[in-house]
């Protein structure tokens, strides 16, 4: 079969379209013919050699590596101990995350059945492949964590804040993968949603349910918003603390990407800061899949690239300002 591999860490140019063996199915697994694979930040973090992590925390990588965690496809083979899936089933999932063995940038993948759900009938393979990591991140932050594993960043177990009608939720970086799902889930729960993104995303986000839109290139959110119950910051970085000013006392800050907050400052403001490491969860995806089928969730697709052009997909990702997800097409 064909797959994308890299034999050393580096830029998008290290991604190679290679011939590799079809994986064997182990206990608890199914073999999936991949139709599409989602592109996510951990894919390029891995390709770069995990430089995003402090040197002392970086894992030892054994090359060559096949990147990717998200995929949608059709079951080709089922291990004898697997129940609930059969040959011919359309499935989607985020495989073996956190970890580096998803291997979804390939024509076939051996997938843990516990990480899979039946693909929603109402969306195609491209959209299904674009969903898992981003939607599970938003779901585990906002709806149901689904496990009791402490966050590696804080050492604490995250507790989702119940979103009730009338609450105000602000999403920074609202047009991206996690952001556009956070907007929709907060709206589904009855919140008043404030979306922060660049101006070209306004119509996209209003169609997804945003009640207010702030073009951050023209207006500072802190100048026009206050009394927010919950902030979901998908951007992170050194300026993240500016959003503390929009929260009311007793509010919650949820940083999705790396961001540092002064514990004394947040305590003085009565603000809780919490984050997670998203984890694979097939049953959660099955529950989310029903929302896709009911039309309550949509997947935004920024762009698609054929599997051999994975390097171009990573180059697009590095440009930022995505509207939804980048997806690799494997079966046309």
Name the least confident of 82-96, 151-165, 290-304.
151-165
- The rounded percent of the chain whose pLDDT value lies above 70 is 100
Query: Rounded to 5 degrees, what are φ and ψ at 120?
Result: -60, 135
Position 117 pLDDT exceeds 80 = yes
* 8 Å CB contact between 198 and 216: yes
Query: Rounded to 5 degrees, what are φ and ψ at 108?
Result: -135, 150
Longest dimension (CA), the chain: 60
Alpha-carbon torsion (110, 116, 122, 128), positive or negative: negative
The residues near 185 (Cβ < 8 Å, ≥ 6 apart) are 138, 139, 142, 143, 163, 297
Record the pTM: 0.97
* 8 Å CB contact between 174 and 194: no
pLDDT digits (tens, 9 = 90+) for 157-208: 999 999 999 999 999 999 999 999 999 999 999 999 999 999 999 999 999 9
Q: In whole angstroms, how far apart are CA 9 and each of 47, 105, 268? A: 5, 16, 43
The per-residue pLDDT for 54 is 78
The per-residue pLDDT for 207 is 98
* 8 Å CB contact between 42 and 97: yes
The per-residue pLDDT for 221 is 94
The per-residue pLDDT for 306 is 98
The per-residue pLDDT for 259 is 78
Looking at residues 245-267, what average pLDDT do you find? 91
The per-residue pLDDT for 60 is 86
pLDDT digits (tens, 9 = 90+) for 22-67: 999 999 999 999 999 999 999 999 999 998 877 887 888 999 999 9
Name the least confident of 84-93, 112-121, 240-249.
240-249
User: First CA to last CA across the chain, in angstroms?
Assistant: 16
Place of tokens 């920024």: 302
Residue 84, token pair as written in the block: 């609930």
The per-residue pLDDT for 71 is 98
Mean pLDDT, all residues of the chain: 96
- The rounded percent of the chain whose pLDDT value lies above 90 is 90
The per-residue pLDDT for 152 is 85
How far is it, in rounded angstroms, from Cα 82 to Cα 252?
40
The strand pair at 325-329 and 301-306 is best described as parallel
Neighbours of 138 (CB within 10 A): 28
How far is it, in rounded angstroms, from Cα 279 to Cα 173?
21
């Amino acid at each position: 079969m064909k797959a994308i591999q890299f034999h050393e860490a580096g830029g998008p140019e290290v991604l190679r379209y290679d011939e590799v063996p079809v994986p064997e199915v182990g206990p608890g697994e199914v073999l999936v013919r991949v139709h599409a694979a989602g592109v996510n930040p951990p894919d390029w973090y891995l390709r770069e050699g995990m430089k995003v992590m402090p040197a002392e925390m970086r894992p030892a990588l054994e090359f060559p590596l096949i990147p990717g965690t998200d995929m949608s496809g059709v079951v080709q083979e089922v291990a004898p101990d697997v129940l609930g899936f059969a040959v011919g089933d359309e499935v989607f999932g985020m495989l073996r995350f956190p970890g580096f063995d998803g291997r979804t940038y390939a024509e076939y993948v051996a997938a843990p059945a516990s990480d899979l759900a039946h693909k929603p009938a109402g969306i195609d393979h491209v959209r299904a492949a674009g969903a898992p990591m981003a939607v599970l991140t938003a779901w585990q932050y906002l709806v149901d964590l689904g496990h009791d594993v402490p966050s590696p960043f804080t050492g604490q177990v995250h507790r989702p804040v119940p979103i009730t009608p009338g609450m105000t939720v602000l999403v920074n970086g609202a047009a991206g993968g996690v952001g556009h799902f956070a907007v929709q889930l907060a709206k589904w729960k009855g919140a008043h949603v404030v979306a922060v993104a660049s101006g070209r995303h306004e119509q996209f986000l209003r169609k997804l349910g945003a009640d207010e839109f702030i073009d951050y290139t023209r207006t500072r959110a802190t100048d026009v918003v206050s009394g927010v119950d919950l902030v979901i910051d998908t951007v992170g970085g050194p300026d993240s603390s500016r959003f503390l000013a929009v929260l009311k006392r007793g509010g919650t800050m949820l940083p999705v990407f790396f961001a540092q907050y002064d514990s004394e400052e947040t305590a003085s403001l009565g603000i809780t800061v919490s984050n997670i490491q998203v984890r694979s969860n097939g049953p959660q995806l099955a529950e989310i899949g029903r929302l896709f089928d009911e039309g309550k969730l949509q997947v935004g697709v920024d762009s698609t690239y054929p599997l051999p052009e994975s390097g171009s997909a990573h180059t697009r990702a590095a440009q930022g300002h995505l509207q939804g997800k980048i997806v690799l097409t494997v079966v046309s």
